[in-house]
Structure 1
């Protein structure tokens, strides 16, 4: 097994679970045996014990539809199998367990170890862990077999922008079947730390830690938490517990001082992260130790503004599909995840709305480290039914549990543009669904804004996100000129063909943001496909359209943020600021300068800009 670097200081970003890091792990990426099962006969035929059907190979974690997988089969059957013989770097000893981790398998997974069924999972975007200890064969290689099932025609599966057709059309892309995030092994003590969660309390000068153990301890255990910034220890606390799940408040005295807060708080401009070391002890004997990190920050809403660390902040976001031509939903490398964040920052954006995808947690870790705000969004299903709602809710709970300790995540979005709840205007059950997911998310995490249904037909939302593909800056200026104009948009003149608000929502000072805007493409050559909301003929025209629309939003005294569509070209959607191979269409410095103008709705931005100009050398 290899030892990764510290969670914060890691330069390669390979470690699959950056918020709970142990010093050793075994990466199972690479070549696996592969078989398709068009007639779904593999289980009855005993493929989990038979190497015969695995006549092909696949490179994990790339989906078989992708080029990097080595399979490159766009019309992949709904059932696929994986097989690999694994020599263990270290076998579990007495009092230890061997855990098999999957980052994501789309959509249903069943797993065998040495012919023994060890468990499964439903949900194509969230991680799961299986204890394979009892199936281990001592002194030999371990045979792992995975069956994945993903039906393209099942519209009740949360699928995001994966197409149900063989060839992508409209705004939908190539499918992703099976394993598409890392697979890895880890030896742990029998009683170990299974999950950590951090919540910062800036006014209280504290951090709350929630701990889940692998099982209830037979007698009381101790959990020691050490928080530090570099070599400076900020807090040390030892807590005693007899429970499987427990939580404590860790005092951080330095946060009581205003000057210290400016040094310790996390922001896109200063992404300060505290190292966290958590050790589990029983009767004075160490059992388990993990490293993690904490970002101290707060988010909220008030008086039509988005609040960040207690101050109004105008959000300059970009829609990120996070899709690569050669590997689809899977990133082509760990470094590609970091580069995606760097590209958005270089362009001048301070946030990404990861669209219709639950991104690899290593991407969120780079957003934490480099300073990028994230709107976390659930991939949609398309057909409303009790099965759809059960599937989406179950997976959304796993998304929130996985991501709620990342300081970069500042907003939750369970639904987008009424996908899967198409008839909320007329059908009460569908309105109740979006409202229920809003309240369920708030019950799990009251520290972040939640949007019931981004784009339109909001039932209960903390931010009223509107999708407005206005053709000109003039139309944006007219629609969002002042509070009265925005009230008309929210009332009876929405920018889309659907109403903005459903029912009679309570006004609590929700900010109004244009959470999809632009979508402008360079007009394609005759031999190219194209999809977008508008097209221009030159780079200069693209830059001017970007400037015109962004200026109009920044000049509004009421709008609280924008999200430009989109960061990169994706399949037939050629409306990115970057090409599919991540090359800028408009010079980076031009985009950055346009975005850098102060927003009229946040007067402090103009004051800060004036102060910076005054300090600048002649």
Structure 2
């Protein structure tokens, strides 16, 4: 074993497949699973057959009188080609899988198992291949994978029919749904629905024994831990090898290599980062918004003898730590002022699905150009490719669960299961720095007084910590916290001077946390007390501004009359935040106009309402 100090002890021969693997830190944003890449895959997005009327079991082999839909855009959206925003409780999809797509996925020979991946299907999916039931999944925001090998038969030239049935009850508020409206038309702060397939569908061939998952964990500032999950028959004497390289452009600056034996279907590899041990060169390697350095890795499953791998994937990680101490949010051990924007991740043409893969990169770029260091992805488990660009370009991200709106055993089971899957999917991304399993008491409407709901809020935060003890957890963003590592407040006061008074000093902090806050909500409930946690203003602003013709249904929490008034309001509110002696961060509402909400810094099409330099100056104070 060696460490990231520029040397390699006892180097092993590099696995031949790794030369065909893309460098994970320098991908183009197309691969649907950006932290575990193989060299071959087949994208199944594009035109599928579609039915959204009727529900016939005979359709599992295909269906007549179908319409065309463009996957992965939901049928409610214009981009899908369906553009019917009403209720769709059951929808059906079908397409042919061709021999060319099987070849593109690398199927056959050394990769005899074929995996079918779904990025997200809202809410419950059942899948058939050539009429054979393959599997099902519940949870509208998390991925699932099905092994379809046995359904393909033995004829290599046969085309195969893939059918998906998606069920999404628009009135079921026990489903984690986030900002998706249960009314037919958007009302208040809720938007049009996203039903069915809304993230990429793709094929990937793997060996009989394969790497099924990776989990990178920042143990401390000088140690990473990799958990490798394996699938299939475990060969006797098998080993896992990791080779990690830190690049500056095309130059290799440091390398680590380790090999460990396989004794179970999960293998842990400790990766020491030697040049971090004493701290003198720490800033040359750590990840932050200012220096988003990523370390590339190749993970290989080796047989008992010889260097030729049974399977190999490429990945990346970032060396960084996050935490809280002394009322501050810490990034890499130092106090860091979190300047965040609320990002709904919603596009008028495609709803929760991004209109293109390039749009995910542009979203990150725009957030940074506006002067923000962080994004609170609101009520949405975002496409992993957004997180890749946040990792690569340098943007802190708040990982947040889409809320349900009922408190019942079914609602609890659904949200906990989906949230656990989301944390597992995203925990390796260095950009994610905190977890938010609940927002504004949605799904726990009486958490201020109901012991059962308090127990749920506490347990939801604690199970998040159990899954990932390396990041702060917020039990209920906005108010009515039970056991939060960061106390967050939502305050839409429109007067900057009043905002400055509310958050002025330690006396103001004591008054805020000890009584009722904005919206007449208690900040701490269920026996929670002020333990010196950081306090952040995680929703504020929300100033309506509509350049040009006014929309009658457009609104914000306050309104501006023209460009100068709008910029002045933003500046005054930020001046109030900057004047605080104790706020550790803030989150402006919001990035873009979204459906009826016209309180974005950008229009719905992502164009700025005034020159972007003016917005940035108001946000940053410079």
Could you say which TM-score interval applies, normalised by the shorter chain?
over 0.9
In the TM superposition, 1:206-225 aligns within 5 A as: 206-215=223-232, 217-225=234-242
TM-score normalised by the chain length of structure 2: 0.92
Structure 1 residue aligned with 2:319, among 296, 300, 315? 296
Aligned-residue CA RMSD in angstroms?
1.5
SS for the counterpart of 1:15 is coil
SS for the counterpart of 2:615 is helix
The answer as to whether partners of 1:202 and 1:255 remain within 8 angstroms in 2 is: no
Are 1:42 and 2:56 an aligned pair? yes
Structure 2 residue aligned with 1:372, among 395, 399, 408? 395
The whole-number CA distance in structure 1 between the counterparts of 2:428 and 2:186 is: 35
The answer as to whether partners of 1:277 and 1:290 remain within 8 angstroms in 2 is: yes
Aligned to 1:7: 24
Aligned to 1:253: 274
Contiguous gaps of at least 5 residues in structure 1: 599-618
Q: Residue 450 and residue 336 in structure 1: after superposition, are their counterparts in 2 closer, same or farther (change >3 A)? A: same
The answer as to whether partners of 2:68 and 2:81 remain within 8 angstroms in 1 is: yes
1:216 Cα deviation from its structure 2 partner: 5.3
Structure 2 residue aligned with 1:175, among 175, 181, 193? 193
Q: Which moved more, 1:87-96 or 1:281-290?
A: 87-96
Aligned to 2:264: 243
Are 1:115 and 2:131 an aligned pair? yes
The whole-number CA distance in structure 1 between the counterparts of 2:342 and 2:550 is: 27
Higher relative contact order (CA 8 A, sep 6+): 2
Are 1:129 and 2:141 an aligned pair? no
The whole-number CA distance in structure 2 between the counterparts of 1:461 and 1:202 is: 22
Contiguous gaps of at least 5 residues in structure 2: 1-19
Aligned to 1:609: none
In the TM superposition, 1:412-423 aligns within 5 A as: 412-423=435-446
1:233 Cα deviation from its structure 2 partner: 3.7
1:506 Cα deviation from its structure 2 partner: 4.5
Aligned to 1:562: 586
1:7 Cα deviation from its structure 2 partner: 1.9
In the TM superposition, 1:129-528 aligns within 5 A as: 129-137=145-153, 138=155, 139-203=157-221, 205-215=222-232, 217-230=234-247, 231-283=252-304, 284=306, 285-522=308-545, 525=549, 527-528=551-552
The whole-number CA distance in structure 2 between the counterparts of 1:430 and 1:325 is: 35
Aligned to 2:93: 82
In the TM superposition, 1:87-98 aligns within 5 A as: 87-88=98-99, 89=101, 90=103, 91-93=107-109, 96-98=112-114
Q: Residue 141 and residue 248 in structure 1: after superposition, are their counterparts in 2 closer, same or farther (change >3 A)? A: same
Aligned residues: 589
The whole-number CA distance in structure 2 between the counterparts of 1:552 and 1:425 is: 29
The whole-number CA distance in structure 2 between the counterparts of 1:405 and 1:526 is: 44
TM-score normalised by the chain length of structure 1: 0.93
The whole-number CA distance in structure 1 between the counterparts of 2:313 and 2:176 is: 33
Aligned to 1:61: 72
The whole-number CA distance in structure 1 between the counterparts of 2:540 and 2:551 is: 27
The whole-number CA distance in structure 2 between the counterparts of 1:5 and 1:239 is: 24
The whole-number CA distance in structure 2 between the counterparts of 1:413 and 1:526 is: 35
1:445 Cα deviation from its structure 2 partner: 0.6
